[in-house]
């Protein structure tokens, strides 16, 4: 027992010294991840809205869900058949923490909110001719700034735009890391790579690196697996920002229970982080592409999440997703499934459905943004605890997909 305690202390000290800014108070003792197969819609709805059930991924009719050992019985009583995927979430987190270091290159490690803000500021200074940095489009619940980064070499007022937002779910660290990778790629390659130069001469990229800065900060200091924002609540804190957008809010696939991981909040866009991003998006004209970056499962999701009816642009959007999938596969052989969001499971009030909605596009001229959700690596081996040595390959495989997405929508923008 003593040896175990010493070992835990040693690991703790190592984590602390290995990665400045990282610590953890939440311990996941007795938590496991199970894979449940042949889950019906009704069973899925029950699991996804039940407090204590944390769905990690979905493929066809099988889902991976994090639960306490005791909850296995609840699933059994629901009539769901599950097998073990990870028999200790705590161990999985500790293995991830051992890979956190401070001596690597920027994209070989993850970084704190403060470090990332500073990185963007420095990048904006270095590439000031093509970057406009907005330190704050608004403040989060706890008062953190939500910056925006504009990248373009075009000076006309009617430049078409791509809007990318990242880190809406706190624990999906690869989302923010890959967004940073894309920003850096565009900047380093302008003037050096013909395709990037041509693209930035005609289009403006807008990045919002932190949709959920409070949640992200919390994953660095308290709970590595936190998902929601940090609105206080008793007994449970946090709203799932990806159920809080003002599009078919509370029309299925979200929960009114604040203890659920998919709690949709008190009303549409009730959260400051949702309001800030919605207002900012709506203040621009000519947004033709909009991507909400998540992990994990390797998916390219197009509208809608709330209804199984095809969107009016289904043919173009499915062709777009399929081609992106091919281009991603060509880089490192990773397969990303291209499908309608609801093909995965129903959701409402999500950011990417909102990007495509009338409400989002009211001031967008004749255009309608092609809203996508991209779920990055992996397919479940590490899940949200993706080791930092996958940041660069994951970023690399996204570049041709982003280039194709942008070029194809410039050529063929969706119209209202
Ligand atoms: O559930 C979500 O918010 C997203 N998955 S995640 O594991 N990153 O939390 C997916 C939302 C996409 N929309 C639908 N599946 N309808
Ligand atoms: Zn997510």
Q: pLDDT tens across 25-75, in order?
A: 999 999 999 999 999 888 988 898 888 899 999 877 789 999 999 999 999
The closest ligand to the CA of 244 turns out to be: 1
Pocket probe for ligand 1: among 49, 175, 242, 264, the residue whose CB has the most ligand atoms within 8 Å is 242
For the Cβ of 242 lying below 6 angstroms from any atom of ligand 1, the answer is: yes
Share of the chain above pLDDT 90, in %: 88
Enzyme catalytic residues: 375
Mean pLDDT for all residues in the chain:
94
For the Cβ of 179 lying below 6 angstroms from any atom of ligand 1, the answer is: no
How far is it, in rounded angstroms, from Cα 354 to Cα 41? 24
User: Residue 25 has which token pair?
Assistant: 């108070």
Residue 17 has pLDDT above 80, yes or no: no
The closest ligand to the CA of 353 turns out to be: 1
Q: How many residues does the chain have?
A: 416
Tell me the mean pLDDT in the region 186-199. Answer: 98
The structural architecture, per CATH, of the domain 25-97 is 2-Layer Sandwich (3.30)
User: Residue 353 has which token pair?
Assistant: 């459905």
User: Residue 382 has which token pair?
Assistant: 């590490």
pTM (predicted TM-score): 0.95
Q: Which atom of ligand 1 is nearest to the CA of 375?
A: 8
Cα of 350 vs centre of ligand 1, distance in Å, is 8
Cα of 410 vs centre of ligand 1, distance in Å, is 26
For the Cβ of 225 lying below 6 angstroms from any atom of ligand 1, the answer is: no
Tell me the mean pLDDT in the region 327-340. Answer: 98
Cα of 263 vs centre of ligand 1, distance in Å, is 13
Query: Looking at 89-103, 201-215, 376-390, which range is the least confident one?
Result: 89-103
Q: Whose CA is nearest to atom 12 of ligand 1?
A: 341
Distances (CA, A) of 6 to 89, 94, 140, 222, 283: 20, 15, 39, 21, 55
Task: State which H helix or E strand residue 337 sits in.
Answer: strand 337-340
How far is it, in rounded angstroms, from Cα 121 to Cα 128? 10
Cα of 336 vs centre of ligand 1, distance in Å, is 15
Q: Chain centroid to CA 111: how far?
A: 16
For residue 87, how many C-alpha atoms fall within 13 Å in the half-sphere facing its CB? 2
Peptide bond into 378 cis (omega under 30): yes
Q: Just give the CATH number of 106-411.
A: 3.40.630.10
For the Cβ of 63 lying below 6 angstroms from any atom of ligand 1, the answer is: no
Residue 9's pLDDT band (cuts 50, 70, 90)? very low
pLDDT: is 307 or 5 the higher one? 307
Domain boundaries, the chain: 25-97, 106-411
Cα of 383 vs centre of ligand 1, distance in Å, is 14
For residue 195, how many C-alpha atoms fall within 13 Å in the half-sphere facing its CB? 10
For the Cβ of 344 lying below 6 angstroms from any atom of ligand 1, the answer is: yes
Residue 260 has pLDDT above 60, yes or no: yes
What pLDDT score was predicted for residue 344?
Answer: 81
User: Residue 246 has which token pair?
Assistant: 């003002």
SS3 151: strand
Cα of 221 vs centre of ligand 1, distance in Å, is 25
Strand residues in 271-329 grouped as ranges (E)? 287-295, 299-302
For the Cβ of 22 lying below 6 angstroms from any atom of ligand 1, the answer is: no
Q: Which atom of ligand 1 is nearest to the CA of 306?
A: 16
Peptide bond into 296 cis (omega under 30): yes
Which strand ranges, in their side-by-side order, compose the sheet holding 131-134? Answer: 131-134, 148-151, 203-208, 160-165, 287-295, 370-376, 299-302, 337-340
What pLDDT score was predicted for residue 18?
Answer: 56
Q: Which atom of ligand 1 is nearest to the CA of 253?
A: 16
The closest ligand to the CA of 301 turns out to be: 1
Q: Whose CA is nearest to atom 2 of ligand 1?
A: 242
């Amino acid at each position: 027992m003593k040896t175990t305690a010493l070992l835990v202390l040693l690991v703790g000290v190592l984590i602390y010294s290995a990665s400045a800014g990282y610590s953890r108070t939440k311990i996941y003792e007795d938590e496991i991840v199970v894979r449940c197969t042949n889950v019906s819609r009704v069973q899925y709805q029950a699991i996804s809205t039940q407090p204590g059930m944390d769905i990690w991924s979905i493929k066809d009719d099988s889902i991976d869900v994090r639960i306490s050992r005791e909850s296995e019985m609840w699933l059994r009583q629901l009539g769901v058949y599950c097998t073990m995927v990870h028999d200790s979430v705590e161990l999985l987190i500790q293995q991830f923490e051992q890979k956190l270091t401070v001596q690597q290159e920027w994209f070989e490690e993850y970084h704190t909110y403060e470090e990332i803000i500073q990185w963007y500021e420095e990048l904006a200074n270095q590439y000031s001719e093509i970057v406009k940095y907005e330190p704050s489009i608004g403040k989060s619940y706890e008062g953190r700034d939500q910056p925006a980064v504009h990248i373009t070499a075009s000076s006309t007022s009617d430049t078409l735009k791509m809007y990318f937002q990242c880190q809406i779910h706190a624990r999906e660290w690869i989302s923010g890391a890959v967004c940073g990778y894309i920003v850096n790629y565009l900047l380093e390659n302008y003037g050096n790579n013909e395709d990037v130069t041509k693209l930035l001469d005609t289009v403006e990229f807008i990045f919002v690196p932190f949709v959920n800065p409070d949640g992200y900060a919390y994953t660095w200091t308290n709970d590595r697996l936190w998902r929601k924002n940090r609105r206080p609540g008793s007994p449970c804190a946090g709203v799932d920002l990806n159920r809080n957008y003002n599009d078919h809010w509370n029309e299925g696939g979200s929960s009114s229970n604040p203890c659920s991981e998919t709690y949709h909040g008190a009303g549409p866009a009730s959260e400051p982080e949702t309001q800030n991003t919605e207002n900012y998006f709506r203040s621009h004209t000519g947004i033709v592409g909009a991507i909400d970056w998540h992990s994990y499962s390797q998916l390219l999701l197009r509208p809608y999440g709330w209804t199984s009816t095809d969107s009016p642009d289904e043919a173009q959007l499915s062709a777009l997703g399929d081609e992106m999938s091919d281009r991603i596969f060509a880089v490192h052989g990773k397969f990303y499934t291209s499908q309608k969001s609801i093909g995965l499971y129903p959701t409402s009030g999500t950011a990417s459905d909102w990007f495509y909605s009338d409400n989002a596009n009211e001031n967008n001229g004749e255009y309608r943004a092609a809203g996508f959700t991209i779920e990055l690596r992996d397919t479940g081996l590490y899940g949200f605890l993706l080791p930092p040595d996958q940041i660069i390959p994951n970023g690399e495989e996204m570049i041709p997909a982003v280039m194709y997405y942008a070029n194809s929508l410039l050529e063929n923008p969706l119209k209202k």
